[in-house]
Amino acid sequence: MQHVIVGAGPAGVIAAETLRKKSRNDSIIIVAKEPYPAYSRMAIPYLLAGDVEENGTYLRIDANHFDKLEIEIRLNTVNRINTREKTVTLEKGPDLHYDRLLLATGSSAIRPPISGMDSPRVHNCWTLDDAHRMLSEIRARDRVVLLGAGFIGCIVLQALVSMKLDLTVVELADHMLARMMDHEGGKMIKQWCENKGVTVRTGTEVIAVTEKSNQLEIELADGSTITADHIVCAAGVRPNIHMLEGSAIDVDAGILVNNQLQTNVPDIFAAGDVAQGPDRSTGDQQVHAIQPTASEHGRVAAFHMSGDASPYGGSLSMNVLNTLGLITSSFGLWDGVDGGDRTAVCDTAGNRYLRLEFQDDLLVGALAIGLTQHVGVLRGLIQTKVRLGNWKKLLLDDPSLIMNAYLDRVQGTRA
């Protein structure tokens, strides 16, 4: 049996390792596009901030890790998938046969279609190559505009502040972290950033960029102009599905997969940022481009590739983020459901916020700011659909009792 895995991010690497655990004899090949040891994009901001060396971004520390497991990593690019022949066409060399194929091709940073965004003074912050370029071209005290204050934008923001830049954030949505935080929380985060000396312009967008005498004139939709040395673009990511053009594999936003992470074509699976798989909260198929989903998908896909038949309950949308020291997390259907109940407690002065969303007596979503202790129980309660019973009423009055509710309902006090 020959397993071919396209992509050497967390989903691909964990799938390969899991396959090896399941079978000593199968051939396992990872086709990797980037000329680095398998690394974690999540760790790049910490590299920019100088918290870790480049090897601190590597997924596996031991340089011989993959050799020891007899997992072959081939530096190459997959250009086409030939589902009938069960081969992939590579950029260099002959086609590669697969018995089972895992598409873990990840996602790429997008550049909004704005004139001037092709300037060399515009940077993405997504790959190690991007990080190298930023570190060599951006100097302390440079004026930098960060485009996008979503999840990735806010992680990058932390790194840019560590690089001691003169920073302005421009975000199209009316508040920061629009996809993982409500208006109330977004306001708190914006105020926090401004108190730390970062200018944040929400509800406006860049409409044109012009490079003049080694600086950028950045025009905004509100009529104002910002002069800067660089733009760092964190305007979102898109699943890497271009190699599927002309193939029989169904795609939507990402590669559509079922509760075995299998595509519509037999023996082809997808995992991680590129996969549009079951969402545990809604039952719909969603792309959850987050680290916990990538690692979970990698394991689950490998189980099914090696013939293990237990179905997968789906990924839970969740995020955790440090925005200049303010810790934010979001879980599941944090914006609530029709006919559900909601409670929130907000301490603006203390920069703490907790919002819980219920359906019947189940927790279905949660938002937290300033919560660093036992935050995982929010996932536990949502994912395992714990009946809260009488605790729901107590939580509606005081959401901060969430840990007590968890212990009582899950662990049982038995005292």
Partner 1 sequence: MHKSLLIDPAKCTSCLQCELACSFENEGVFNPAKSRIKIFEFEHGRKAIPYTCTQCEEAWCLHACPVEAITINEETGAKEVNESICVGCKVCTIACPFGTVNYNSDSGKVIKCDLCGGEPQCAEACPTGAIVYVDSDWTGYLRMRDSAVEQHS
For binding to partner 1 (CB under 8 A), which residues are involved?
Answer: 10, 14, 40, 42-43, 46, 51-52, 56-61, 291-292, 295-296, 299, 318-322, 325, 327, 329, 331, 372-380, 383-384, 403-404, 406-408, 411, 413-415
- Taking the complex as a whole, how short is the minimal distance between the CB of residue 325 and partner 1, in angstroms? 7
Q: Say how many residues make up the chain.
A: 415
Interatomic CA distance for residues 110 and 22, integer angstroms: 37
Phi, psi of 15, rounded to the nearest 5 degrees: -60, -45
Q: How far is CA 289 from CA 19, 48, 253, 404, in A?
A: 22, 21, 12, 31
Closer by beta carbon to partner 1, 79 or else 372: 372
Q: Which residues contact 263 (CB under 8 A, 6 or more apart)?
A: 103, 249, 250, 255, 256, 257, 269, 270
- Taking the complex as a whole, how short is the minimal distance between the CB of residue 45 and partner 1, in angstroms? 9
Judged on CB neighbours under 10 Å (0-12, 13-18, 19+), 24 is exposed
Closer by beta carbon to partner 1, 262 or else 319: 319
Closer by beta carbon to partner 1, 255 or else 320: 320
Judged by DSSP in three states, 331 sits in strand
Judged by DSSP in three states, 195 sits in helix
Closer by beta carbon to partner 1, 221 or else 407: 407
- Taking the complex as a whole, how short is the minimal distance between the CB of residue 379 and partner 1, in angstroms? 5
Starting at the earlier edge strand, list the strands of the sheet with 71-75: 71-75, 27-32, 2-6, 100-103, 268-270
Closer by beta carbon to partner 1, 232 or else 320: 320
- Taking the complex as a whole, how short is the minimal distance between the CB of residue 280 and partner 1, in angstroms? 12
Phi, psi of 241, rounded to the nearest 5 degrees: -120, 5
Nearest to 231 by CA among 243, 247, 217: 217
- Taking the complex as a whole, how short is the minimal distance between the CB of residue 414 and partner 1, in angstroms? 6
- Taking the complex as a whole, how short is the minimal distance between the CB of residue 38 and partner 1, in angstroms? 11
Closer by beta carbon to partner 1, 13 or else 28: 13
